[in-house]
Amino acid sequence: MKPDLSINFCGIHFPNPYVLAAAPTTDSADQVARALEAGWAGAVMKTTSVETETVELVYPQMGGIELEGKKLNGLINIDLISERHIDQVEQDIRRLKKEYPGKVILASIMGSRQEHWQELVRRLEAAGVDMIECSFSCPHGMPERGMGAAVGQNPEFTERTARWVKEAAKRVPVAIKLTPNITDILPIAEAVKRSGADAIVAINTVLGLIGVDIDTFSPLPSVDGIGIYGGFSGPAIKPIALHFVSKIAQNIDLPVAATGGICTWRDAVEFLLVGARNLQLCTAPMHYGFRVIEDLLDGLSHYLAEKGFSSVEEIIGLALPKLSSYQHLSRTYKVVSQVNTDICIGCGLCFIACQDGAHQAIVWDAEKRLPRTDEEKCVGCGLCPQVCPVEAIALKRTA
Amino acid sequence: MQEKHPAGGYQAAGTWNVSPRTLSRQERRTSFGEVESTLTLAQAVQEANRCLYCYDAPCIQGCPAQIQIPEFIARIRSHNLTGAAEVIYRDNPLGAICGRVCPVEALCQKACTSCRINTPIAIGSLQRFVCDLAIQEGRIAFQDETNVLGKVAVVGGGPAGLSCAHYLRQRGCEVDLFEKEDLAGGLLRWGIPIYRLPEEVAKREIDLITNRVALHRKYLLGTQAEDFLKQYDAIFLGIGLSSPILLRTPGADLPGVYAAASFLRALREKKGGDFAFYGKEIAVVGGGATALDAARSAIRLGASKVTVLYRRTAEEMPAFSSEVEAAFQEGVDFLWLMSPVEITPVDGRLKLILEGIRLGEPDESGRASVIPTGVRTNFLADAVLVAIASQAEPAGVEGWMDRPKVFRGGDLTGGATVVQAVADGKEAALRIISWLEKGGSQ
């Protein structure tokens, strides 16, 4: 039997855990309709605000990190919230809810004053949205106006603003999207909990500078020679997102939607295992299109079936009991690296890495072009399996 | 060069293996255009990214010139193209040439560790890319030492002599380069067809060396040889094997029977019109690089049928597999285990009497010995190109090969590739330098 991929998040039924994050991918009903047709469970419409908050975007807004031939290992953007009028966003929501009643449409909002936040909630709720997401987290552009991450970096602002939204929301649950650009997420997450909001979304993009053009000296992306810091997303930020999501899941009694570097079903499983109940994606569909949903869905489904789970609900948080602190790690557990010479191709990368970056425990047989571990010297640090291009090195338990 | 994207990075990358743009079979049958194009920057970076950067780099062991291959590939990866060119030219002053004509499948790429998990890194194509771009952008300027170490005569302006002259100049030797033709380059100028090595590519790298020496053109050593021993502190002989050996069979001197080397030379001198092969059937006798170059050139002149006659089989052919493969793709036919024993004129054409061959135990060269079977067949052709062997041209130096001041290299000493000649020339230069540094005693 096929595992049940549906999931309950804040009392709302999601046909599967995959939702499009508020982004350029969700700036029109036409785009979102394409995604929902492709199989996405829902979408967070690109963040909107009241009409007095004028938005004037600049271009180009994107920059990517290429690593050894692979593009977009990370994506930076200096995009802001939607330029579209809230009337249009309302229309989009009405249309999408009518055409796709089984899917979930969320609205993302951002305001500066109480009456703005509350007006946004009332209007979008009336338009038929299923859930409200509040961006306390946009790291660039908006904080200059006291919005976005300027709220989410301060527990007091966070709690007060979340309360305003929660007060205004009569029918729909409220989720607060947090920024990772902060020393400790817990005071902020606790503030969200105190406010009475229903869920946390983590993380928004990481504030960064994607690069500098070494010919023109312009920071990138360069708008007529001038650059600014942007919001960094994609595969490169997954470890940061896993950290924040697991920490919130372990410490705060609120459901968490994860976002930040989820690109494949394997990433999805990892976020579910550390406690996420909902998964938002952005960079992967921006890179390859909405069709990525097909592998996300059947990869997850096959994984669950092969592991003997009947629903995605069953795996949520399974890794959390195994997430501990340094003092609790075993001092008696010992491993050493072991080279499988049947698989080894003799490139010597493990040798040079161990020689210069570890404990000089790999011996190189120049004649046979084969590495061998000196088990007396090997502390089992685990560097060599990371550099091996053919998975020929495993860590063998010795104690 | 690729356009840089305003948001950084370069466009059009992926993680596939790259291959250069290549002329189609049809294009190759009608033109002498270079078969392969130089990689684009994006392609080169992409291919460089596949390099494992092996600790012990077996590719270097496979390179006669000992180019530090992983080092130049790492520099392509980081877009340090000037650094990449420096790495290549440090060990091979004919980098763009060798990037084209090296039999990489038998050298560096054969040794590449990636062969065990994928195709080898396209080292030849990468080297060609780096050198082409560096020369095109004028980034290659050799700095020679200025303190004079000695005066050396380099006899023969082929790849061995050029390489030797280059490394001698680098160390501050005065070099007189003696070339029997009016242009230096040897096989690079007169032998290798332009679809493998365009004139301009050869010229650019040759000029970068000859511009730094005293070049004596159209100079035959002859009887002045003995004076050389007195005039120079050392002498390098890289006179190659420029004299083709002809068939000794009856009819080998008939009109229509040519030395393949003379044919190739005529093409390089743009006298291809002397060989009106269009619509004709051509027989090529031999199994080495020259035979294949001649066969592929005949195809390009529009010959309707080109057949390589070789007395052993594909296994034993001295030509490299990539050349045989390319010839096959272009429509060259092969007849194995056949040797001509007589050529006679028949109605304006040539009739070759071919004798069948059986292979026996390996001979002293290590290859299977050739045993005539007595079975004879007739083969008709309009012209015959002979490429069975070549020898050194008499240069008046035969008597002093073993003199202490005299050093040798290249095809003359058994090399068979341009890169081996480069390696020989470099090695001889280093020996000469060390000899001169010790005051001229071995």
Q: What percent of chain B has pLDDT over 70?
A: 93
Whether residues B380 and B363 share a domain: the answer is yes
Query: What is the number of other CB atoms lying within 10 angstroms of the CB of residue B358?
Result: 13
H and E: helices and strands count for chain A: 12, 20
Among A residues 197-226, those touching chain B with beta carbons less than 8 Å apart: 210-211, 213, 215, 220-222
Average pLDDT, chain A: 96
Give me the torsion for CA of A318, A321, A322, A328, rounded to 10°. 180
- What's the rounded Cα separation, in Å, for the pair A325 and A153? 25
The strand pairing partners of B43, in sequence order, are none
Look at the alpha carbons of B425, B428, B434, B436 in this order and tell me if their dihedral is positive or negative.
Answer: negative
Give the model's pLDDT for residue B274: 79
Residues of B in contact with A390 (CB under 8 A): 117
Look at the alpha carbons of B425, B430, B431, B432 in this order and tell me if their dihedral is positive or negative.
Answer: positive
**Three-class DSSP category at B423:** helix
In a domain, B92, yes or no: yes
Which of B371, B390, B409 is at the close of a domain?
A: B390
- What's the rounded Cα separation, in Å, for the pair B18 and B248? 47
- What's the rounded Cα separation, in Å, for the pair A190 and B368? 85
Burial class (CB in 10 A: 0-12, 13-18, 19+), A332: exposed
Q: How far apart are the first and last CA of chain A?
A: 41
- What's the rounded Cα separation, in Å, for the pair B160 and B423? 7
pLDDT for A99-109, tens place per residue? 999 999 999 99
Residue A46: band (very low, low, confident or very high) from pLDDT cuts 50, 70, 90? very high
Question: Hey, what are B395's tokens?
Answer: 């240069």
Closest Cα partner for A100 from A110, A90, A92, A109? A92
> If you count them, how many residues does chain B have?
442
In a domain, B332, yes or no: yes
In a domain, B196, yes or no: yes
Assign residue B67 the CATH number of its domain. 1.10.1060.10
- Residue that wins the pLDDT comparison between A140 and A3: A3
Residue-range definition of the domain harbouring residue B400: 151-242+392-437
In a domain, B168, yes or no: yes
Whether residues B116 and B157 share a domain: the answer is no
Active site residue A347: no
Average pLDDT, chain B: 90
Look at the alpha carbons of B312, B316, B320, B326 in this order and tell me if their dihedral is positive or negative.
Answer: positive
Whether residues B123 and B197 share a domain: the answer is no
Domains of chain A: 7-322 (3.20.20.70), 330-397 (3.30.70.20)
Average pLDDT over residues B203-208: 97
Whether residues B385 and B255 share a domain: the answer is yes
Whether residues B383 and B254 share a domain: the answer is yes
Helix axes B289-300, B321-329, angle to 10 degrees: 20
Residue B13: band (very low, low, confident or very high) from pLDDT cuts 50, 70, 90? very low
Q: Which of B56, B79, B114, B117 to mutate to test the interface with A (most CBs of A within 10 A)?
A: B56
In a domain, B123, yes or no: yes
pLDDT for B243-273, tens place per residue? 888 899 999 999 999 999 999 999 999 877 7
Whether the Cβ atoms of residue B428 and residue B152 lie closer than 8 Å to each other: no
Contacts of residue A309, Cβ cutoff 8 Å, sequence gap at least 6: A3, A315
The strand pairing partners of B352, in sequence order, are B343, B379
Whether residues B382 and B404 share a domain: the answer is no
Residue B441: band (very low, low, confident or very high) from pLDDT cuts 50, 70, 90? low
**Three-class DSSP category at A58:** coil
Give the model's pLDDT for residue B14: 37
Assign residue B414 the CATH number of its domain. 3.50.50.60
Give the model's pLDDT for residue A334: 96
Give the model's pLDDT for residue B107: 96
Residue B223: band (very low, low, confident or very high) from pLDDT cuts 50, 70, 90? low
Domain count, chain B: 3
Q: What percent of chain A has pLDDT over 90?
A: 92
Q: Which of A62, A64, A349 sits opposite B52 (nearest CB)?
A: A349
Which of B105, B136, B167 is at the close of a domain?
A: B136
Whether residues B308 and B347 share a domain: the answer is yes
In a domain, B346, yes or no: yes
pLDDT for A295-331, tens place per residue? 999 999 999 999 999 999 999 999 999 999 999 999 9
Burial class (CB in 10 A: 0-12, 13-18, 19+), A231: buried
Whether residues B256 and B383 share a domain: the answer is yes
Average pLDDT over residues A152-159: 94
Whether residues B322 and B421 share a domain: the answer is no
In a domain, B167, yes or no: yes
Q: Which of B7, B77, B116 sits opposite A221 (nearest CB)?
A: B7
Whether residues B348 and B374 share a domain: the answer is yes
- What's the rounded Cα separation, in Å, for the pair B215 and B440? 24
Give the model's pLDDT for residue A142: 83
Closest Cα partner for A185 from A236, A250, A110, A280? A250
For residue A369, give the chain B residue with the closest CA: B56
- What's the rounded Cα separation, in Å, for the pair A207 and A221? 14
Residue B10: band (very low, low, confident or very high) from pLDDT cuts 50, 70, 90? very low
Q: Which of A68, A211, A390 sits opposite B77 (nearest CB)?
A: A68
Which of B111, B136, B161 is at the close of a domain?
A: B136
Residue B17: band (very low, low, confident or very high) from pLDDT cuts 50, 70, 90? low
Question: Hey, what are B133's tokens?
Answer: 């771009």
pLDDT for B297-350, tens place per residue? 999 999 999 999 999 999 899 999 999 999 999 999 999 999 999 999 999 999
Whether residues B381 and B306 share a domain: the answer is yes
For residue A63, give the chain B residue with the closest CA: B7
Whether residues B216 and B195 share a domain: the answer is yes
- Taking only Cα atoms into account, the Rg of chain B, rounded to an integer number of angstroms, comes to 23
pLDDT above 80 (res B7) = no
In a domain, B192, yes or no: yes
Q: How far apart are the first and last CA of chain B?
A: 50
ipTM: 0.81
